């Protein structure tokens, strides 16, 4: 590792803090810090305030644990949505990704992470018990597991499946297959193999039902 | 432009602030904000403090205007360096880049930017007058203009050159040419043309003198 020499301890300290952020290296951190340094005091203050305010006043929806300004989030409080279909996701970014498709009219359950022993995250660190409580109330007809297709995602899927399989609830998962727009020859073998095994009726594939 | 819908105004506000930083889009901003949200209050506080402290207590070297914790920066106060050779650079990042080469034993003058009418930056916004003052004192033998090879850099070079050409001071600039490790066929014509015109004595090119 190259240790850069900075002309100021204060500068170095700020760079250290910024380079802890994910995906921000020391060069980018320097650029960001120098940018803020050029700005007015007001702007720097409002930058810092936005984070401290968020940290202090953030709420999580009491039903789905999504980030929210209110006790019950916008999605959970919409009466037009089907509250008996729950889509289980890792975090708020996945909620946003699915919302952007405009294809889902149920509600969510945000786990806050996935089971990852390497990072010290076990089932008790996640909102799994609260998911089971939601199912126990008996008003849920379907649980859609929409986690990443990684080993951690699969582990979490399986853990939740085991906990829920004795309840009267349909458990489904996102369909896996060749991405739309992908060329077959560049698709990896596992995905391609699975998409042959789970082949769809052609008519339903074009109508999207 | 796709306007994302966020589940919280506080979150949206923090994302807005982060996405003002250079090179940070809204998706990256969301990732950074969610990262900070997961951290302890202490860590978030020390992140914010590092910026406010820097902003409040930062000093600029009275000689070269480099960022410094003291009135005179580390480089200017080293007696082993030749204070009669001044390398003129745009910002502190350029100082660091040149220092990392270990090829320069003079001192610096940080302009704090380059002349850029598009961004509303004229000569008076930059530390050009203080550079002339340094030269006027008569102890400077050489000024090395080490600005970017952009139109703005060339403009600034020329402006400084005009201001200094009547003083008893040698004005030089970084050599331009084919980058070391580059293949000729991929070098742009302007660079290649200039490097033929300004061809060097072979012996001096290999000894680096």
pLDDT digits (tens, 9 = 90+) for B139-183: 899 999 998 888 898 899 999 999 998 998 999 888 878 787 777
Residue of A nearest to B56 (CA): A41
A6-23: per-residue pLDDT in tens?
A: 888 899 999 999 999 999
Q: Would residue A32 count as lying in a domain?
A: yes
Handedness of CA B30, B32, B34, B36 (dihedral sign): negative
- In this structure, the answer to whether residues B156 and B93 fall within a common structural domain is yes
Helix (H, G, I), strand (E, B) or coil at A145: strand
Mean pLDDT of A196-209: 67
User: Is B202 a domain residue?
Assistant: no
User: HEC states along chain B?
Assistant: CCCCCCCCHHHHHHHHHHCCCCCCCHHHHHHHHHHHHHCCHHHHHHHHHHHHHHHHHCEECCCCCCEECCCCCCCCCCCCCEEEEEEEECCHHHHHHHHHHCCCCEEEEECCCCCEHHHCECHHHCCHHHHHHHHHCCCCCEEEECCCCCHHHHHHHHHHHHHHCCCCCEEEECCCCCCCCCCHHHCCHHHHHHHHHCCCCHHHHHHCC
Note whether B52 contacts A45, CB cutoff 8 Å: yes
Residues B147 and B101 in one domain: yes
**A14, B54 Cβ separation under 8 angstroms:** yes
Q: Min CA distance, B97 vs chain A (Å)? A: 10
Mean pLDDT, rounded, for A154-161: 91
User: B167 and B98, same structural domain?
Assistant: yes
Same structural domain, B23 and B106: no
The answer to whether the Cβ–Cβ distance between A17 and B51 falls below 8 Å is: yes
Percent of chain B with pLDDT strictly greater than 70: 94
| Cβ-Cβ contacts under 8 Å, B33 against chain A | 51, 54
Contact state of A17 with B99 under an 8 Å Cβ cutoff: no
Nearest chain A residue to B73 by CA: give it. Answer: A7
Cβ within 8 Å, pair B21-A35: yes
- Most A-contacting residue of B3, B6, B7, B26 (CB-CB within 10 A), to test interface: B7
List the CATH number of the domain containing B152. 3.40.1360.10
The answer as to whether B181 is a domain residue is: no
Average pLDDT, stretch A129-143? 92
Provide, as residue numbers in chain B, all residues whose Cβ is less than 8 Å from the Cβ of A11. 54, 58, 67
Minimum CA–CA partner of B100 in chain A: A4
In-domain check, residue A48:
yes
Predicted pLDDT at B82:
93
Q: ∠A31-A37-A38 over CA atoms, to 5°?
A: 95
User: Is B170 within 8 Å of B143 (Cβ atoms)?
Assistant: yes
Which of A60-64, B167-171, B204-208 is least confident?
B204-208
Mean pLDDT of all residues belonging to chain B: 87
In whole angstroms, give the CA distance from residue A189 to residue A54: 44
Q: pLDDT value at position B149?
A: 82
**What's the domain count of chain B?**
2
Contact A170, A142 (CB under 8 A): yes
Q: Are residue A125 and residue A168 in the same domain, yes or no? A: yes
What is the per-residue pLDDT for A209? 46
Domain of residue B40, residue span? 9-57
Give chain A's largest Cα–Cα span: 67
| Confidence check: pLDDT of A1 > 50 | no
In a domain, A62, yes or no: no
Position of tokens 């590792």? A1
Mean pLDDT calculated for residue range A112-139: 91
A114 and A36 part of one domain: no
Instruction: Give the angle A13-A119-B13 at the CA atoms, nearest 5°.
Output: 55
C-alpha torsion angle, residues A193, A194, A199, A200 (rounded to 10):
-140
Average pLDDT over residues A179-194: 79
B170: β partners: B142
Which position has the token pair 């644990």?
A65
Q: For the domain that residue A47 is a member of, what is the CATH number?
A: 1.10.8.420
Looking at A98-102, B13-17, B58-62, B124-128, which range is the least confident one?
Answer: A98-102
The answer, yes or no, to whether residue A2 has pLDDT greater than 60, is no
Residue B66's Cβ-count burial label (10 Å; 0-12, 13-18, 19+) is buried
């Amino acid at each position: 590792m190259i240790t850069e020499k900075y002309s100021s301890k204060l500068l170095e300290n700020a760079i250290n803090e910024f380079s802890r952020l994910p995906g921000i290296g020391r060069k980018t951190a320097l650029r960001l810090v120098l940018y803020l340094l050029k700005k007015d005091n007001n702007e720097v203050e409002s930058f810092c305030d936005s984070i401290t305010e968020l940290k202090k006043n953030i709420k999580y929806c009491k039903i789905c644990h999504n980030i929210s300004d209110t006790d019950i989030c916008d999605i959970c409080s919409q009466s037009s949505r089907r509250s008996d279909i729950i889509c289980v996701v890792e975090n708020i970014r996945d909620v946003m990704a699915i919302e952007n498709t405009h294809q889902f009219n149920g509600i969510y359950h945000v786990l806050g992470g996935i089971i990852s022993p390497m990072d010290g995250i076990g089932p008790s660190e996640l909102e799994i018990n609260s998911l089971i409580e939601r199912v126990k109330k008996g008003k849920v007809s379907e649980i859609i597991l929409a986690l990443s297709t990684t080993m951690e995602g699969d582990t979490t899927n399986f853990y939740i499946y085991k906990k829920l399989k004795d309840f009267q609830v349909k458990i489904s998962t996102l369909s896996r297959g060749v991405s739309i727009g992908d060329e077959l020859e560049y698709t990896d073998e596992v995905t391609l193999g699975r998409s042959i095994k789970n082949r769809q009726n052609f008519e339903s594939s074009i109508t999207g039902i």
